[in-house]
Chains A and B, each alone.
Chain A
Amino acid sequence: MYHKPTDSNNYIALDSCHLPSWLLNVPRSQFIRAHRNCSRKQDYDLESDMLVEKFVAKGYDKQTLLGTRELVGKCSRAELLIQRDKTKNIHEEWEVVYILMRLGFTGMQRHTEHLNIRKILQVTEPLENILRSCFGPEGGQVLFIKSTGDLLITKDGRRILESLLLDHPVARLWDFDFQMKCKIYFNLKTTPWTTEQQSISFSPWPRADKVHLRWSRSEKTRRGRHRKKMGGPGPDATPIGPGPQMDRPWVRYNGSLSTAFQNAVDKPLMLPIPALCRSTILSLVSLDSSLVLTMVESANIFRSALQIIEGTCTDNRHYSITEIQFKTDTRRSEGPVRKLTNYGEKGRHERMIVKSASRHYDITGDGVKSFVLLLCAVLRELQATADKNEDPLSSGKNQYQRLGHALRRLSNLLLTFHSRVLAHIIAEHLSPHFLSVFRLMEGNITLCRASVQHILDTYFSGRIGCNLQGFISKLACEYFYNSFLDIGDIPSVVSLVNKYFSELLTEVSGLPVADSRILPGLILHRPFSVYCPAEGEVRALIVTEQISPCLSDTDIDFVVSSDFQLQQSQLFQRLRTESVLRQLRQKEVKVIFSRVKQHEIVLYYAKLSGISIVDCLPSEEISLLCKITGVSQMSGPLNGDLQTVTFPAASCKPIVIGSKKYVHLVFQSSSAFRPHSLVLCGPVKGVTEQLVSAFHGAFRMLTQLFHPFTAIQEQPPSNADSYFPKVAVLSKEQSVTCNGCRNDSAGHKCYLENIDQAVHVLGTLSVEKDSTRACKECSASLSPSYRCEDTGNICFHEMRRKSHQEPFIIHGDSSSITDSTGTIPFANVGLVFPGAGVFELLLKDYLYKFAKTCHDTELASICTMFGNALLCIPRQIYKAKTGQVHFPLYYLQCTQNMKPTDLLSIAETGLEPVSCKYQLLASVLQCISQLVTIDLIVGVKRSPCSRSEETDQDMLLEDH
Chain B
Amino acid sequence: MERVEQKKQSSCTAGPLTSASLRQAVSVMQMMVASCYGPYGRLKQIHNDSGGYVTTTSQSAALLGGISVTHPALQLLVASIRNHTFAFSDCGLFAAILCCSLIDRCLRLPVSTHKVVKAHQSLMDMCLSYLKSEDCACKINVDFTHSKLLLALTRSVLYSKPACMMTRTEVDYVSLLIVKAFLYKVPNVSATSHLLGRTVVVAVEGASVMDSAFIPGVLIEAPACGWSRTMPSSRLPPTNIKLALFSGSLCGEFSETGDGTVEVMAGVDPEKVMLDQLLDLGRQLVDDDVQILLCQKVIHPSLKQYLKEHDICALDRLGAALMEPLSEMTGAQPVASLCPVSSASYGRLQQISNVSYGNKQYLHLLPDTTAVCSIVLCNRNETSLKELTRTCQTAERTLNHLLKEPWLLLGGGCTEAHVAAYIRYQVSSLPGSHLEELRCTAAEYKLAADCFCSALEAAARSLEHDGGEILTDFQDGHVWSVPPEASGVDCAREPVSAIQPPTRTEVPPVLLAKEALILDGFSAKCNGIRVAVDTAGLILDLAYVVKDTN
Q: Which residues of A contact B (CB under 8 A)?
A: 130, 133-134, 138-147, 151, 153, 160, 163-167, 175, 177-179, 181, 207, 278-279, 281-282, 285-286, 330, 465-467, 509-514, 533, 550-563, 566-567, 570, 574, 578, 599-601, 603-604, 607-608, 658-659, 683-687, 944
- In the complex with contacts A511-B527, A550-B257, A558-B257, A141-B344 CB distance below 8 A: no
Besides A279-B13, A560-B270, A687-B538, 20 more A-B contacts (Cβ < 8 Å) are A141-B538, A142-B545, A147-B548, A147-B549, A164-B546, A279-B11, A282-B9, A282-B12, A466-B118, A467-B118, A467-B534, A512-B530, A551-B256, A552-B260, A570-B338, A599-B256, A601-B339, A683-B84, A683-B538, A684-B80
B86 within 8 A of A: yes
Contact in complex: A684, B79 (CB < 8 Å): yes
Tell me the minimal C-beta distance from B219 to chain A in angstroms.
26
Contact in complex: B257, A467 (CB < 8 Å): no
Residue of B nearest to A180 (CB): B6
Question: Which stretch (B69-77, B101-109, B158-166, B309-317) binds chain A?
Answer: B69-77
Contact in complex: A143, B545 (CB < 8 Å): yes
Tell me the minimal C-beta distance from B18 to chain A in angstroms.
13
**Which chain A positions have C-beta within 8 A of B48?**
none
Contact in complex: A557, B261 (CB < 8 Å): yes
Contact in complex: B547, A145 (CB < 8 Å): yes
Tell me the minimal C-beta distance from B9 to chain A in angstroms.
5
Contact in complex: B11, A600 (CB < 8 Å): no
Residue of A nearest to B344 (CB): A608
Contact in complex: A552, B262 (CB < 8 Å): yes
Contact in complex: A683, B4 (CB < 8 Å): no
Residue of A nearest to B263 (CB): A559
Question: Which stretch (B328-336, B426-434, B480-488) binds chain A?
Answer: B328-336
B169 within 8 A of A: no
Contact in complex: A566, B273 (CB < 8 Å): yes
B83 within 8 A of A: yes
Q: Which 9 A-B pairs have the closest CB atoms?
A: A140-B543, A550-B258, A552-B260, A600-B336, A510-B83, A683-B80, A512-B530, A552-B258, A147-B548
Tell me the minimal C-beta distance from A147 to chain B in angstroms.
4
B248 within 8 A of A: yes
Contact in complex: B114, A683 (CB < 8 Å): no
Contact in complex: A600, B337 (CB < 8 Å): yes
**Which chain B positions have C-beta within 8 A of A683?**
80, 83-84, 531, 534-535, 538
A688 to B31, CA, bound (A): 29
Contact in complex: A560, B336 (CB < 8 Å): no
Tell me the minimal C-beta distance from A346 to chain B in angstroms.
14
Contact in complex: A153, B13 (CB < 8 Å): no
Contact in complex: B544, A142 (CB < 8 Å): yes
A685 to B83, CA, bound (A): 9
B269 within 8 A of A: yes
Contact in complex: B263, A558 (CB < 8 Å): yes
**Which chain B positions have C-beta within 8 A of A175?**
7
- In the complex with contacts A141-B541, A143-B544, A553-B259, A164-B333 CB distance below 8 A: no
**Which chain A positions have C-beta within 8 A of B263?**
557-560
**Which chain B positions have C-beta within 8 A of A567?**
273, 276-277
**Which chain B positions have C-beta within 8 A of A285?**
9
CB contact between A511 and one of B9, B87, B262, B546 (< 8 Å): that residue: B87
Tell me the minimal C-beta distance from A70 to chain B in angstroms.
40
Contact in complex: B534, A601 (CB < 8 Å): no
Tell me the minimal C-beta distance from B398 to chain A in angstroms.
16
Contact in complex: A146, B548 (CB < 8 Å): yes
Contact in complex: A684, B258 (CB < 8 Å): no
Contact in complex: A133, B543 (CB < 8 Å): yes
**Which chain A positions have C-beta within 8 A of B269?**
563
Classify chain B: how many residues form its interface, as a range. Answer: 35 or more
A180 to B262, CA, bound (A): 53
B10 within 8 A of A: yes
Contact in complex: A166, B9 (CB < 8 Å): yes
Contact in complex: A553, B544 (CB < 8 Å): no
Tell me the minimal C-beta distance from B516 to chain A in angstroms.
32
Tell me the minimal C-beta distance from A210 to chain B in angstroms.
12
- In the complex with contacts A143-B546, A533-B193, A685-B79, A552-B257 CB distance below 8 A: yes
Contact in complex: B337, A604 (CB < 8 Å): yes
* 27 A–B contacts, CB within 8 A, in A order: A130-B12, A140-B541, A141-B542, A143-B546, A164-B9, A165-B8, A165-B10, A165-B548, A167-B9, A177-B4, A207-B6, A279-B11, A512-B534, A533-B192, A551-B260, A558-B260, A560-B262, A563-B269, A566-B268, A567-B276, A600-B337, A603-B336, A608-B344, A658-B87, A659-B86, A683-B84, A686-B79
Contact in complex: B259, A466 (CB < 8 Å): no
Which residues of chain B in 32-78 are interfacial with respect to chain A, using CB atoms and an 8 Å cutoff? Answer: 72-73, 75-76
Tell me the minimal C-beta distance from B541 to chain A in angstroms.
5
A179 to B333, CA, bound (A): 59
The listed residue with most A CB atoms (<10 A of its CB), out of B270, B335, B537, B548, is B548
The SS class assigned to the B binding surface is: mixed
Contact in complex: B258, A138 (CB < 8 Å): no
- In the complex with contacts A140-B543, A141-B543, A178-B7, A551-B257 CB distance below 8 A: yes
CB contact between B543 and one of A134, A510, A550 (< 8 Å): that residue: A134
A51 to B2, CA, bound (A): 36
- In the complex with contacts A465-B541, A686-B76, A179-B6 CB distance below 8 A: yes
B190 within 8 A of A: no
A134 to B12, CA, bound (A): 13
B272 within 8 A of A: yes
B247 within 8 A of A: yes
Tell me the minimal C-beta distance from A461 to chain B in angstroms.
11
Residue of A nearest to B530 (CB): A512
Tell me the minimal C-beta distance from B537 to chain A in angstroms.
4
A511 to B534, CA, bound (A): 11
**Which chain A positions have C-beta within 8 A of B12?**
130, 164, 279, 281-282
A179 to B543, CA, bound (A): 30
B525 within 8 A of A: no
**Which chain A positions have C-beta within 8 A of B276?**
567
**Which chain A positions have C-beta within 8 A of B262?**
551-552, 557-560
Contact in complex: B117, A278 (CB < 8 Å): no
A561 to B265, CA, bound (A): 5
Tell me the minimal C-beta distance from B443 to chain A in angstroms.
14
CB contact between A512 and one of B117, B257, B335, B531 (< 8 Å): that residue: B531
Contact in complex: A604, B336 (CB < 8 Å): yes
Contact in complex: B546, A144 (CB < 8 Å): yes
**Which chain A positions have C-beta within 8 A of B76?**
143, 151, 153, 684, 686
- In the complex with contacts A147-B550, A603-B336, A561-B268 CB distance below 8 A: yes
A944 to B86, CA, bound (A): 50
**Which chain A positions have C-beta within 8 A of B260?**
550-558
- In the complex with contacts A177-B4, A510-B83, A600-B336, A144-B548 CB distance below 8 A: yes
Tell me the minimal C-beta distance from A89 to chain B in angstroms.
23
Tell me the minimal C-beta distance from B378 to chain A in angstroms.
29
B3 within 8 A of A: yes
**Which chain B positions have C-beta within 8 A of A685?**
79, 83
B369 within 8 A of A: no
CB contact between A559 and one of B265, B272, B545, B548 (< 8 Å): that residue: B265
A175 to B337, CA, bound (A): 52
Tell me the minimal C-beta distance from B257 to chain A in angstroms.
5
- In the complex with contacts A145-B546, A151-B79, A465-B538, A550-B265 CB distance below 8 A: no
Tell me the minimal C-beta distance from A401 to chain B in angstroms.
36
A156 to B544, CA, bound (A): 13
B503 within 8 A of A: no
Tell me the minimal C-beta distance from B52 to chain A in angstroms.
21
- In the complex with contacts A604-B335, A684-B79, A513-B72 CB distance below 8 A: no
B342 within 8 A of A: yes
B513 within 8 A of A: no
Residue of A nearest to B1 (CB): A331
Tell me the minimal C-beta distance from B65 to chain A in angstroms.
14
CB contact between A509 and one of B83, B121, B248 (< 8 Å): that residue: B83
Contact in complex: B544, A140 (CB < 8 Å): yes
Residue of A nearest to B73 (CB): A143
B345 within 8 A of A: yes
